[in-house]
């Protein structure tokens, strides 16, 4: 390319804001912030400093990703839902740009962040110390709020600046609720969703389910996994930089950014947002190992070191978040043993002990993959399939002992409510985040286990606990992407 063409490209990039002069002023928070890991007395606020105030234009260039066999140097054809071990990766952008200028991206910047917070309606602010946000951490800093009160509605402001000499800050407001104490009985609303792919957005500013969930004013929200899809679309993430690009462009979308800074969130990881479809601990793809995929997920969501966890939300609700990838038998499909593990012995033991110890009226198990199903015969990555039949039977028998227990699963791209015929265990599948991402089953072929089946559409789940004269009730609901209830049951 000649020098005049290079200069023209650079001028266009500067005009679009895809590259910035070294003297560019200010820092921003294009990906907003997330309120995570909330308890009765603590919360983590995930912040990220960005170079620009908004994501790059959608019509900006995309990176070109190529892979080559390490041993032979032959090009490898990249396909979706695949891992690509033993490959060398080359990422190219048009002349004059780097990956920070890619379409939809929101590149990180160096700076500092802090969080100011107070009970809503009060006057005095508390604040965390300023933390450095560095490029090697993707501009991320996590602030832990301690000493906060149970069952309280907080307002907060995440502030970003370049350095201690910077008198101007980028301020982003938000709010969240802390969990009430276990002895407190009161109303609770929560939402659950899964499977959001950037190529399957259903509105220009993101996904319709986020304002639909926000309209319910949930006390908390759970994403059960596949928050991004590394192995889909025109940009397959085979490097850490490309993985971070996937997170930034997704969470810079206005509907996601606005939702997450106003509601308590819990994140669970699955396969596409760690590495690739059906991945396990031994999987590798390009420059990414499974361990690096887990590290990046923790970086982007502030996921605790122990991914499986349980929490109370008042007198009537206890929730379990099950980890579905870390304890899988590595490469069992190639070397199947007599009883391959999915949740694994330690996690199942912990689950049994905490279920027995719980005094909550309702127990809710959130899983990244189905426990009951049914699922398709060509899949074998969950307890509904034959590959994990031994451990699956044990888990269903354990969960089936508790009459006020409900399983909510992500991962499947259709909505259903099913009942295990052997244990009467109920499972609700929340469905994908948009209609264009739906698939995998047809309504004309229900099974005896199905109490409800809806395919070809997206949606989410919500649960509502209401105190009654004799205790409490739990209403379980499946919604479409606009928030309309398509099915409900009450316990």
The pLDDT value given to residue 245? 98
d(CA 334, CA 325): 17
DSSP letters spanning 117-173: EEETT-SPPEEPPPEEE-GGGTTEEEEEEESPPTT-EEEEEEEEESSTT----EEEE
Instruction: Judge whether 373 lies within some domain.
Output: yes
Place of tokens 């370049």: 162
Whether 24 has a pLDDT exceeding 90, the answer reads: no
The pLDDT value given to residue 380? 86
d(CA 344, CA 465): 31
Which residues lie across from 284 on neighbouring strands? 289
Instruction: Judge whether 269 lies within some domain.
Output: no
Instruction: Judge whether 463 lies within some domain.
Output: yes
| Token pair for 160 | 């970003």
- Looking at the structure of the chain, the number of domains it has is 1
Q: Determine contact, residues 210/223, Cβ cutoff 8 Å.
A: no
Instruction: Judge whether 195 lies within some domain.
Output: yes
Instruction: Judge whether 414 lies within some domain.
Output: yes
Q: Determine contact, residues 374/384, Cβ cutoff 8 Å.
A: yes
d(CA 65, CA 68): 10
End-to-end CA distance of the chain: 68
Whether 333 has a pLDDT exceeding 90, the answer reads: no
3-state DSSP call for residue 400? coil
d(CA 133, CA 113): 7
**What is the DSSP-derived secondary structure letter of residue 116?**
E
| Token pair for 386 | 């034959």
pLDDT confidence bin for 337, thresholds 50/70/90: low
pLDDT confidence bin for 336, thresholds 50/70/90: low
For residue 221, give the CATH number of its domain. Answer: 3.60.21.70
**410 phi/psi in degrees, rounded to 5:** -100, -155
Q: Determine contact, residues 383/392, Cβ cutoff 8 Å.
A: yes
What is the average pLDDT across 288-304?
Answer: 98
d(CA 427, CA 368): 12
Whether 3 has a pLDDT exceeding 70, the answer reads: no
Instruction: Judge whether 420 lies within some domain.
Output: yes
The mean pLDDT value of the chain amounts to: 93
Which domain, by its residues, includes 393? 188-225+307-490
Residue 134: cis peptide before it, omega within 30 degrees of 0: no
Strands of 37-123 (E only): list them.
42-48, 64-69, 75-76, 87-92, 111-119
What is the average pLDDT across 317-326?
Answer: 97
What is the average pLDDT across 312-330?
Answer: 95
The pLDDT value given to residue 14? 43
Whether 341 has a pLDDT exceeding 60, the answer reads: yes
What is the average pLDDT across 21-33?
Answer: 75
Whether 234 has a pLDDT exceeding 80, the answer reads: yes
133-170: b or e for each residue (b if 16 or more CB lie within 10 Å)? Answer: bbeeebbbbbbebeebeeebebbbbbbbbbeeeeeebb
If one compares 336 and 420, the residue with the highest pLDDT of the two is 420
pLDDT confidence bin for 445, thresholds 50/70/90: confident
Whether 246 has a pLDDT exceeding 90, the answer reads: yes
The pLDDT value given to residue 339? 82
pTM of the model: 0.93
pLDDT confidence bin for 387, thresholds 50/70/90: confident
Instruction: Judge whether 117 lies within some domain.
Output: no
Instruction: Judge whether 175 lies within some domain.
Output: no
Percent residues over pLDDT 90 in the chain: 88
**What is the DSSP-derived secondary structure letter of residue 293?**
H
d(CA 87, CA 67): 6
Q: Determine contact, residues 64/140, Cβ cutoff 8 Å.
A: no
């Amino acid at each position: 390319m000649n020098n005049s063409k290079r200069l023209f490209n650079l001028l266009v990039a500067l005009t679009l804001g895809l590259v910035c002069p070294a003297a560019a002023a200010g820092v921003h928070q294009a990906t907003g912030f997330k309120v995570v890991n909330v308890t009765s007395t603590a919360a983590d606020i995930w912040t990220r400093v960005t170079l620009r105030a908004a994501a790059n234009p959608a019509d900006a260039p995309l990176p070109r990703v190529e892979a080559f066999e390490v041993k032979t140097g032959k090009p490898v054809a990249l396909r979706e839902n695949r891992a690509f071990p033993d490959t060398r990766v080359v990422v190219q952008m048009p002349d004059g740009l780097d990956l920070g200028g890619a379409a939809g991206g929101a590149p990180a910047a160096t700076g500092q962040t802090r969080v100011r917070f107070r009970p809503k309606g009060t006057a005095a602010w508390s604040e965390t110390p300023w933390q450095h946000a560095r490029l090697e951490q993707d501009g991320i800093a996590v602030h832990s709020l301690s000493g906060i009160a149970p069952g309280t509605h907080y307002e907060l402001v995440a502030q970003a600046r370049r350095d201690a000499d910077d008198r101007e800050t980028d301020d982003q407001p938000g709010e969240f609720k802390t969990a009430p104490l276990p002895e407190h009985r009161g109303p609770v609303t929560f939402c659950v969703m899964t499977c959001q792919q950037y190529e399957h957005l259903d509105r220009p500013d993101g996904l319709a389910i986020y304002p639909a969930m926000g309209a319910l004013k949930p006390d908390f929200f759970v994403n059960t996994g596949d928050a991004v899809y590394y192995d889909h679309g025109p940009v397959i993430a085979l490097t850490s930089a490309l993985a971070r690009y996937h997170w930034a462009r997704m969470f810079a979308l206005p509907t996601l950014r606005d939702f997450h800074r106003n509601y308590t969130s819990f994140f669970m990881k699955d396969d596409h947002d760690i590495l690739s479809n059906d991945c396990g601990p031994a999987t590798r793809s390009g420059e990414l190992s499974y361990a690096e995929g887990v590290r990046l997920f923790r970086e982007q969501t502030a996921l605790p070191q122990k991914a499986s966890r349980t929490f109370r939300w008042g007198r009537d609700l206890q929730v379990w978040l099950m980890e579905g990838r870390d304890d899988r038998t590595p490469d069992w499909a190639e070397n199947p043993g007599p009883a391959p593990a999915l949740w694994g012995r330690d996690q199942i033991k912990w689950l049994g002990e905490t279920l027995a110890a719980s005094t909550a009226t309702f127990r809710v198990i959130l899983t990244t993959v189905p426990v009951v199903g049914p699922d398709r015969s060509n899949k074998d990555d969950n307890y509904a399939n034959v590959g994990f039949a031994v451990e699956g039977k044990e888990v269903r028998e354990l969960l089936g002992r508790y009459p006020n227990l409900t399983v909510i699963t992500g991962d499947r791209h259709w909505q259903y409510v099913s009942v295990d015929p052997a244990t009467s265990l109920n499972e609700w599948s929340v469905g994908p985040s948009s209609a264009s991402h739906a698939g995998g089953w047809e309504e004309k072929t229900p099974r005896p286990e199905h109490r409800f089946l809806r395919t070809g559409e997206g949606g989410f789940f919500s649960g509502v606990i209401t105190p009654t004269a004799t205790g409490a009730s739990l209403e379980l609901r499946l919604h479409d992407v606009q928030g309309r209830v398509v099915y409900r049951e009450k316990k």
